[in-house]
């Protein structure tokens, strides 16, 4: 019997854990022949279908999620037409809700799994060709021979620690920029917008087990590990143990963690502060800085504690803290979103991610959408289109604001100057956003250089006091000194002044100097030094006269 896994991802940087997780549980079954077709959602669906056809599988299996949904169904419908006797089985977060309408609409799909599949999928394989026995498989949803909908509930792996590790599978992909390591199943929190909000109980792996898996990951030369733990610090004692474990792999591996800022104990704060720089990249799920919004979203944790914790995390100079906001949450108004972005910038958040709320299948907020006054797209990715508090245009503005943040605040070259402009000028964010919208570039992909030129031109006309600061950011980003943002820079035969204050680097006579005057009299300004012997665009020396 041949199973073909269709591995359809949004890009080649991403890789699903589903295949290696399922294959690891069945690897000893010699009666199963596994094949894989890997592709991205941007590839030609005809070519992907052709690859599937030539494998002639008995079963086609795949994970269905927000961003591969449409392309996946196009491919599978074609594959079923060419291979009418094959059985198509799907799983993933798309099936955490009621699946009857999906199965009736997409009759080429034979069944879908709701929940965690490592234990039930191998059982289903044993009876896949006899649908009369499918009622014995927990979590399986399907239309029986009489075309009646059968729903076998939800599958939960209660003995999570005894599953065979995905890394043991020959299908585990070691070629990606990062790997995912699931250390916990379930979530203690009850967020109404999250598919993990109802996953109880929380099940964990032992520290020793995680160490064994990290040793293998380290041997493979992996530099970045995304720890799949919905709230890393829900248990501060365990969080401390994990941090000590991660230290064992410093400086070779950087760990990406989700952390709840409201649950930071003083002891854990001290542990975080002593870690070496680069060990952690923290994602702080804050969602909103408004108490009423968080309460309506059923997120556990006092806002005051969350703000104090977030401020502390952002103050750490040994890690980057990524803060999330969600536009479209009930009771969340557009002006409040702008206010929250300003507050996060004031805290010094390393990244500010503003996303639109998506009402995912199986979530409480989707079930209560009408009651909460939320209108959302019926098709993936199910984004919210309007609420009682935010209009259609308001949500579009929030989406544009997200683009601005990604292009400027979340880009190291422009972050410092963008933060300065935001914090020192109340209306800068809205002014600059309106400018990008008016010139038709807010939704266009822009190079790092183009973004800098746009910011310089905008400040030159609207915020002239910051023109020099934008030029400094341009120079330190290694941009060309022949472009407009460096129009005031003097490069020819520059000799150092009698006195200057060194900001960074060490002056050597071999350095090639340039000078950026601050005022018309040219007596005060900034000096930058470049190594003449190496091809490095960024200056290695900076001083002020």
Quick one: pLDDT band at residue 197, thresholds 50, 70, 90?
low
Segment among 118-122, 174-178, 385-389, 489-493 with least mean pLDDT: 174-178
| Helix, coil or strand: residue 374 | coil
Q: What is the full DSSP assignment across 222-250?
A: --EEEEE-TTTTSSHHHHHHHHHHHHTTT
DSSP string, 287-306: E-S-HHHHHHTT--S-HHHH
Of the CA atoms within 13 Å of residue 536, those in its CB half-sphere come to 13
- Look at residue 15 in the predicted model and tell me its pLDDT: 75
Q: How far apart are CA 169 and CA 6, in angstroms?
A: 16
pLDDT digits (tens, 9 = 90+) for 223-278: 999 999 887 888 899 999 999 999 999 999 999 999 999 999 999 999 999 999 99
Q: What is the mean pLDDT of residues 63-70?
A: 93
Per the confidence metrics, is the pTM higher than 0.95? no
pLDDT confidence tier of residue 493, bands split at 50, 70 and 90: confident
Q: Look at 26-30, 59-63, 413-417 and tell me which has the smallest mean pLDDT.
A: 26-30
The pLDDT-based confidence of 16 (bands split at 50, 70, 90) is confident
Look at residue 201 in the predicted model and tell me its pLDDT.
82
Q: For residue range 330-384, list pLDDT tens digits in order.
A: 999 999 999 999 999 999 999 999 999 999 999 999 999 999 999 999 999 999 9
Give 177-407's CATH code, choosing from 3.30.390.30, 3.40.50.720, 3.80.30.20, 3.30.365.10.
3.80.30.20
Q: In sequence order, which residues have a C-beta less than 8 Å from that of residue 281 and are 6 or more positions away?
A: 254, 255, 256, 257, 319, 320, 322
Q: Which residues, 6+ apart, have CB-to-CB distance to 334 below 8 Å?
A: 327, 390, 391, 394, 397, 398
Is 521 a residue whose pLDDT tops 80? Answer: no
Q: In the Cβ-directed half-sphere of 131, how many Cα atoms lie within 13 Å?
A: 16
Q: What token pair was written down for 75? A: 């491919």
* Confidence check: pLDDT of 535 > 70: no
- Strand duo 33-40 + 2-9: pairing: parallel
525: tokens are 């300004």
pLDDT digits (tens, 9 = 90+) for 72-130: 999 999 999 999 999 999 999 999 999 999 999 999 999 999 999 999 999 999 999 99
DSSP assignment of 410-463? TSHHHHHHHHHHHHH-TTHHHHHHHHHHHTT-TTS---HHHHHHHHHHHHHHH-
In this prediction, residue 285 carries a pLDDT of 84
pLDDT at 24: 95
Per the model's pLDDT, the better-predicted residue between 9 and 329 turns out to be: 329
Give the residues across from 227 on adjacent strands: 181
Q: What is the pLDDT of residue 232?
A: 86
Residue 143 pLDDT? 98
Q: What is the mean pLDDT of the chain?
A: 94
Report the sign of the C-alpha dihedral through residues 402, 407, 410, 416, in that order.
negative
d(CA 480, CA 487): 10
Q: Quick one: fold of 2-151?
A: Rossmann fold (3.40.50)
* 84: number of Cβ within 10 Å: 8
Q: Which residues contact 156 (CB under 8 A, 6 or more apart)?
A: 115, 116, 199
pLDDT at 368: 95
- Report the percentage of the chain scoring pLDDT > 90: 86
């Amino acid at each position: 019997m041949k199973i073909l896994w269709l591995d359809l991802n949004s890009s080649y940087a991403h890789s699903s854990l589903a295949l290696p997780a399922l294959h690891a549980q069945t690897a000893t079954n010699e009666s199963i022949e596994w094949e894989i077709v890997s592709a991205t959602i941007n590839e030609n669906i005809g070519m992907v279908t052709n690859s599937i056809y030539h494998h002639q599988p008995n079963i086609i299996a795949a994970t269905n999620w927000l961003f591969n949904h449409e392309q996946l169904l196009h491919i599978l419908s074609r594959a079923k037409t060419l291979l009418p006797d094959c059985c198509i089985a799907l799983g993933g977060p798309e099936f955490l809700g009621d699946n009857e309408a999906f199965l009736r609409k997409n009759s080429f799909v034979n069944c879908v799994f709701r929940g965690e599949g490592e234990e039930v999928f191998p059982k289903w394989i044993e009876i896949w060709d006899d649908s009369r026995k499918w009622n014995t498989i927990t979590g399986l949803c399907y239309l029986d021979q009489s075309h009646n909908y059968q729903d076998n509930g939800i599958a939960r792996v209660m003995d999570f620690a005894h599953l065979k590790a995905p890394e043991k599978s020959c299908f585990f992909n070691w070629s990606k920029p990062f790997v995912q390591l699931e250390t916990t199943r379930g979530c203690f929190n009850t967020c109404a917008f999250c598919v993990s909000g109802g996953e109880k109980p929380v099940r964990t792996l032992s520290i020793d087990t995680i160490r064994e898996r990290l040793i293998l990951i380290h041997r493979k030369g992996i530099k970045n590990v995304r720890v799949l733990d919905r709230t890393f610090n829900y248990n501060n004692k365990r969080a401390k143990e994990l941090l000590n474990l991660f230290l064992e792999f410093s400086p070779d591996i950087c760990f990406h963690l989700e952390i709840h800022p409201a649950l930071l104990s003083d002891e854990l704060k001290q542990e975080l502060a002593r870690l070496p720089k680069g060990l952690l990249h923290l994602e702080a799920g804050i969602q909103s800085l408004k108490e009423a919004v968080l309460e309506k979203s059923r997120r556990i944790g006092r806002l005051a504690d969350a703000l104090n914790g977030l401020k502390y995390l952002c103050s750490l100079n040994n890690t980057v803290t990524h803060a999330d906001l969600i536009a479209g949450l009930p009771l969340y108004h557009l002006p409040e979103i702008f206010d929250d972005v300003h507050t996060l910038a004031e805290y010094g958040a390393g990244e500010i991610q503003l996303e639109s709320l998506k009402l995912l299948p199986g979530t409480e907020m989707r079930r209560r959408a009408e009651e909460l006054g939320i209108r959302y797209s019926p098709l993936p990715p199910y984004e919210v289109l309007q609420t009682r508090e935010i209009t259609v245009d308001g949500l579009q503005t929030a989406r544009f604001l997200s683009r601005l943040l990604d292009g400027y605040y979340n880009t190291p070259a422009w972050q410092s100057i963008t933060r300065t402009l935001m914090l020192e000028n109340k209306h800068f964010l809205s002014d600059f956003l309106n400018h990008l919208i008016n010139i038709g570039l807010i939704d266009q992909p822009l190079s790092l250089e183009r973004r800098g030129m746009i910011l310089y031109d905008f400040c030159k006309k609207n915020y002239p006091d910051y023109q020099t600061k934008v030029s400094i950011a341009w120079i330190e980003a290694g941009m060309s000194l022949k472009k407009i943002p460096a129009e005031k820079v003097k490069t020819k035969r520059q000799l150092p002044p009698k006195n200057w204050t060194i900001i960074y680097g060490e002056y050597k006579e071999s350095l090639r100097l340039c000078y950026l005057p601050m005022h018309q009299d040219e007596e005060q300004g900034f000096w930058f030094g470049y190594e003449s012997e190496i091809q490095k665009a960024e200056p290695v020396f900076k001083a002020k006269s």
